[in-house]
């Protein structure tokens, strides 16, 4: 039997530092106690040198709820020209709220310091819909009680997720064990067959001493007992947050391109937030990529349908220990095979095996190579980077997707589909995902964030392609190996 629960929502706090920095910081700490790393402050989402329009839009796109913290000076805080900042289209607060409203994301105005809710006539036209959002007041004297009520209201704003009952889990575990027995693996061997995890810390191996501090970590040759979250057989159903005012654009049939209503973004992870992705040392591809390629090679299958099937297969084969996750804001459908004539689609695949300072991997380069070969049969112009440094990967991203580089890119401007695939090491830090180039170091969160390639950086570059459909596939971990190592 399937029951439904609500997964933890991703919450972005939008505030004006000159107006409500102290209140926003206090509320942020309170929300983090309940929702953990799924809460973000806007100023933390922009890296030096990034286009702030693209960065803010990417941050908003990844959240389920935006909290607009409004103080007494929020409406009329002046800019350098003396006019209210909200009248400036480049104002950070305005960009964030407009992006959330346009995407149908839940926006909650939170009034602090005795502020009142602005009317539609007081707001710039682009922000006028904010006046129709139910506001929530937090008093300084009742902060803990008011914040508690806000947390209770937000707890139901995450995406719905289906979960199996105990009896179903038992049957799934029995099926997984029987499958392992047929393959000649047997109980314990089945769960140790996945020889390594894409994580950046030394794994406890079944034989041999653990490496000492400062000693390079090499790829284990024997069975590795996986460090995974507690068993969970949860069939997550990724859907848009409930919003009665949001309506999907009417699909526009375009059979020649294999797309119907070609617009939106699909982000695919081999595992849920905090989880680890798995390799299969005895097979050519990693667990997720293996099943993904098998599904996509079937003619006529819709991309989102394939992702749902892959999720079920990966969870069954891993005994529920690896839960793929999908975030999408697409409309229409994408079918890769059979390839339509003259498809305008570009892809970049990256596979990193031979890390200089991190454990080596077995499947990643083959994952990227096999995905590139498949995409070529699907009509994509494909570029590939194997064992790429940060410079090599970012140069390839720019070369293939950035509008300013279309003169040397594989395709003319405005492709129908832009796809990025990565297999290798990665980490999630403070709710953001960072992919590891081969020259990354395991030296703490700060250094890794500067050396890694953020999910936001990838999405921003894909946005420059002006592609109707943007797809990001990450076969890597989403845990934080620095959590117990300090910063």
Instruction: Give the Å distances, CA to CA, from 270 to 46, 264, 273, 461.
Output: 25, 20, 10, 22
pLDDT number for residue 102: 87
Range of the domain at 327: 159-209+216-244+258-487
pLDDT number for residue 436: 93
pLDDT number for residue 292: 96
- Same-domain check for residues 178 and 118: no
Is position 121 within any domain?
yes
pLDDT number for residue 66: 92
Residue 305 has pLDDT above 50, yes or no: yes
- Same-domain check for residues 310 and 378: yes
Is position 1 within any domain?
no
Q: For the segment 246-263, what is each residue's pLDDT rounded down to a tens digit?
A: 233 333 333 333 444 447
User: Mean pLDDT, the chain, as a whole number?
Assistant: 74
Is position 439 within any domain?
yes
Is position 461 within any domain?
yes
Residue 466 has pLDDT above 60, yes or no: yes
- Same-domain check for residues 75 and 166: no
Assign residue 141 the CATH number of its domain: 3.40.50.10140
- Same-domain check for residues 129 and 119: yes
pLDDT number for residue 413: 63
Between 298 and 487, residue with greater pLDDT? 298
Number of folded domains that form the chain? 2
Residue 423 has pLDDT above 90, yes or no: yes
- Same-domain check for residues 266 and 134: no
Is position 253 within any domain?
no
Residue 131 has pLDDT above 50, yes or no: yes
- Same-domain check for residues 345 and 414: yes
Residue 483 has pLDDT above 70, yes or no: no
- Same-domain check for residues 193 and 268: yes
- Same-domain check for residues 306 and 319: yes
pLDDT tier for residue 422 given thresholds of 50, 70 and 90: very high
Reported as type and span, the H/E element at residue 41 is: strand 39-41
Instruction: Rounding to the nearest 10 degrees, give the CA dihedral for residues 241, 135, 42, 392.
Output: 20
Domain boundary among 158, 175, 196: 158
pLDDT tier for residue 342 given thresholds of 50, 70 and 90: confident
pLDDT tier for residue 272 given thresholds of 50, 70 and 90: confident
As a whole number of angstroms, the distance between CA 140 and CA 142 comes to 6
Assign residue 282 the CATH number of its domain: 3.40.50.1460
Q: What is the DSSP string of 278-304?
A: B--TTSSS-HHHHHHHHHHTSTT-BHH
- Same-domain check for residues 375 and 419: yes
Q: For the segment 209-234, what is each residue's pLDDT rounded down to a tens digit?
A: 333 333 333 333 332 222 222 222 22
Domain boundary among 158, 175, 200: 158
Is position 251 within any domain?
no
Burial status of residue 129 (CB atoms within 10 A of its CB: 0-12, 13-18, 19 or more): middle
- Same-domain check for residues 164 and 154: no
pLDDT number for residue 226: 26
What is the pTM (predicted TM-score) of this model?
Answer: 0.51
Is position 250 within any domain?
no
Is position 141 within any domain?
yes
- Same-domain check for residues 62 and 198: no
- Quote the percentage of the chain above a pLDDT of 90: 33
Residue 404 has pLDDT above 50, yes or no: no
Chain CA centroid to CA 245, Å: 25
Q: Among residues 204, 229, 206, 226, which one has the least CA distance to residue 217?
A: 204
- Same-domain check for residues 376 and 440: yes
pLDDT tier for residue 265 given thresholds of 50, 70 and 90: confident
pLDDT tier for residue 193 given thresholds of 50, 70 and 90: very low
Domain boundary among 140, 158, 176: 158
Between 278 and 451, residue with greater pLDDT? 451
């Amino acid at each position: 039997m399937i029951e439904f629960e609500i997964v933890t929502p991703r919450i972005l706090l939008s505030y004006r530092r000159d107006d409500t920095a102290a209140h926003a910081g206090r509320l942020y700490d309170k929300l983090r106690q309940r929702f953990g790393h799924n809460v973000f402050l806007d100023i933390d989402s922009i890296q030096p040198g990034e286009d702030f329009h693209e960065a803010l839009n990417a941050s908003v796109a990844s959240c389920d709820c935006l909290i607009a913290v409004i103080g007494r000076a929020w409406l009329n805080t002046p800019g350098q020209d003396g006019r209210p900042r909200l009248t400036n289209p480049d104002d950070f607060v305005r960009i964030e709220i407009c992006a959330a409203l346009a995407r149908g994301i839940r926006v909650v105005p939170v009034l602090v310091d005795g502020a009142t809710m602005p009317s539609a006539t007081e707001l710039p036209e682009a922000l006028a819909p904010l006046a129709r959002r139910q506001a929530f007041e937090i008093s300084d004297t009742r902060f803990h009680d008011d914040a508690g009520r806000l947390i209770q209201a937000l707890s139901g704003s995450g995406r719905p997720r289906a979960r199996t009952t105990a009896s179903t889990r038992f049957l799934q575990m029995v099926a997984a064990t029987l499958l392992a027995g047929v393959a000649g693996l047997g109980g314990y061997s089945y769960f140790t067959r996945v020889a390594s995890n894409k994580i950046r810390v030394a794994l406890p191996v079944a034989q041999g001493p653990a490496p000492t501090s400062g000693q390079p970590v090499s790829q284990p040759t024997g069975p590795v007992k996986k460090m995974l979250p507690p068993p969970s057989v949860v069939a997550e159903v990724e859907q848009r947050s409930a919003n009665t005012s949001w309506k999907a654009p009417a699909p526009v049939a375009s059979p020649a391109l294999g797309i119907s209503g070609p617009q939106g973004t699909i982000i695919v992870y081999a595992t849920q937030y905090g989880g680890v992705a798995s390799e299969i040392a005895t097979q050519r591809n990693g667990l997720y990529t293996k099943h993904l390629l098998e599904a996509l090679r079937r003619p006529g299958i819709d991309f989102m349908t394939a992702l749902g099937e892959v999720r079920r297969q990966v969870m069954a084969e891993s005994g529920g220990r690896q839960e793929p996750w999908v975030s999408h804001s697409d409309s229409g459908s994408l079918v890769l095979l059979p390839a339509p004539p003259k498809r305008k689609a570009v892809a970049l695949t990256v596979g990193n095996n031979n890390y200089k300072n991190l454990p080596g991997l077995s499947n990643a380069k083959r994952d990227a190579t096999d995905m590139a070969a498949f995409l070529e049969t699907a009509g994509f112009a494909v570029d590939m980077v194997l064992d790429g440094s940060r410079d090599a990967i970012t140069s390839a991203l720019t070369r293939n997707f950035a509008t300013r580089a279309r003169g040397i890119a594989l395709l003319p401007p405005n492709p129908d589909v832009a796809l990025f695939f990565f297999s290798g090491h990665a980490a999630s830090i403070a709710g953001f995902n960072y992919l590891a180039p081969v020259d990354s170091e395991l030296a703490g969160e700060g250094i890794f964030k500067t050396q890694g390639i953020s999910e936001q950086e990838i999405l921003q570059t894909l946005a420059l392609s002006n592609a109707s459909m943007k797809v990001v596939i990450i076969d890597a971990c989403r845990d934080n190996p620095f959590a117990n190592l300090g910063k």
